[in-house]
Amino acid sequence: MATENRYPETENQEKQTPFHGDLLDKIVSHIPTIHLVPSFYVSKSWQRAVFSCVGNPSRSKPWLIIYVQSRRNLSSTTTHAYDPSSNVWMKITGPSNVTYTSPLRSSHSDTLYMLSPSKFSLSSDPLHEMWLDVVGPRVWRTDPIVAIVGSCIVVAGGTCDFEDDPFTVELYDTACPGWFTCQPIHNIPKDSAASIWLSVAVSDHKMYLLEKNSGTFCSFDPSTKTWSGDIGSFDLRPDPAIYFSVIGFVGGRLILVGLMGDPENAESLRIWEVNCDRFNCEEVGKMPREMLDMLKNENSTLLSIDISVAENFIYIYNSSELRDIFFCDLSARVRQWSSVQCTFLNDRVLMDRFVFTCSKVNLDNLRKASWVGSKKFKVELAETVLIQ
């Protein structure tokens, strides 16, 4: 049975292409990752060169994706992605099948969701092409914690003022569809039972919560629908000088990022690895002083930070003063710190909402999203900005 040739006139293209072997590999290595998809279809030799390029560890750095949404018109949402491997910002248009009926939100770095009284929408693939739509939770919430743990979606806290219990937790199991009520949140102050005050990190089996200001730390097990025991809730503060902290999973490790000093005089930003069995901490990184100063606002204060993490990469930013993004590769023995300016903000309204996700984007993700003839995803080349 004859096989259809996916590469028309491949033999002629191979003869006409003056670049081969190491020279072609060198050329392809300078092409931004987002543009490797059309390069993949040039010829078989280009296909081999593209595969070789994306297999290079230097191309495996996770992207930071920022959604900018108008508060007045939710459908006015633009998407900007930063690829650290190519050192480039891109303006992209996302899937056309998404209707923004409620504000877009993010949770534990790789998940987007929208919540209304009747509908709950969730997406966790790298470029957020696929969405799961289910009926909304039984309890209406304005600012909940949301996490995906295995096949379970956990929605906790964030209830309206008139609700009796602000610590209510509900679980949706995709393997057995339906909402289940779980044990309420433990040992978190009533006024802090919302995502604005809580940092969330997710492993394969548990969800971890950290109260950003006090350092109160606890975990939730979806299999038992319960929170950690009496000894499982405590202050996760390896240094008493920490006044604000957040958590995330980097390369399978739970990490803690803390600001030291006080908001009027932030002395340092440090990173610890947390042992999930004994919960002792080991310092693994410290932000250079000049970058810490850039994080501060015009009054030289620093109230809070946000992070987005994937693989061994951590992005750090001040979402209330979004000018620069800082990132660190924790896989290197000597920590490698870099930064990039948010050049796309020049024409944005200050009241817009910024939503962040972080994921490793590979060639297969890009090929599916930018399949020839598809209108679901495109890159506006005119808006592509190379960072010099």
Which tokens go with 110?
């790789």
Question: Residue 11 domain-assigned?
Answer: no
Domain holding 38, by residue range, is 19-59
One domain for residues 48 and 95: no
- Residue 9 belongs to some domain of the structure: no
Residue 350's pLDDT band (boundaries 50, 70, 90)? low
Under the banding of pLDDT at 50, 70 and 90, the label for residue 236 is very high
Nearest to 143, CA basis, from 157, 125, 132? 157
Do residues 53 and 151 share a domain? Answer: no
Residue type, 268: S
Please name which of 311, 371, 368 lies closest in space to residue 129, comparing C-alpha atoms: 368
Query: Considering the domain boundaries, does residue 341 fall inside one?
Result: yes
Q: Indicate whether 2 belongs to any domain.
A: no
Q: How confident is the model at residue 377 (pLDDT cuts 50, 70, 90)?
A: very low
Q: Are 76 and 70 in contact (CB under 8 A)?
A: yes
Q: Which of 42-56, 138-152, 274-288 has the lowest mean pLDDT?
A: 42-56
Find the angle CA(353)-CA(357)-CA(362) to the nearest 5 degrees: 140
Q: How many domains does the chain have?
A: 2
* Domain end among 8, 32, 59: 59
Read off the pTM.
0.86
Give Cβ neighbours of residue 370 (< 8 Å, ≥ 6 apart).
37, 377, 378, 379
Position with higher pLDDT, 369 vs 378: 369
Same domain for 263 and 213, yes or no, is: yes
38 and 137 co-located in one domain? no
Do 53 and 157 sit in the same domain of this protein? no
Tokens of 125: 């693939």
pLDDT tens digits, 57-111: 777 789 999 999 888 888 888 889 999 988 888 887 766 668 888 999 998 888 9
Residue 10 located in a structural domain? no
d(CA 351, CA 353): 7
Read off the pLDDT of residues 105-161 as tens digits, 9 standing for 90 and up. Answer: 998 888 999 999 889 999 998 888 889 999 999 988 889 999 999 999 999 998 876
Task: Give mean pLDDT, residues 214-242.
Answer: 86
- Position 264 in a domain: yes
Query: Do 28 and 80 lie in a common domain?
Result: no
Same domain, 98 and 144: yes
Contact 356, 306 (CB under 8 A): yes
The answer as to whether 327 is a domain residue is yes
Q: Are 236 and 90 found together in one domain? A: yes
Query: Is residue 23 situated within a structural domain?
Result: yes
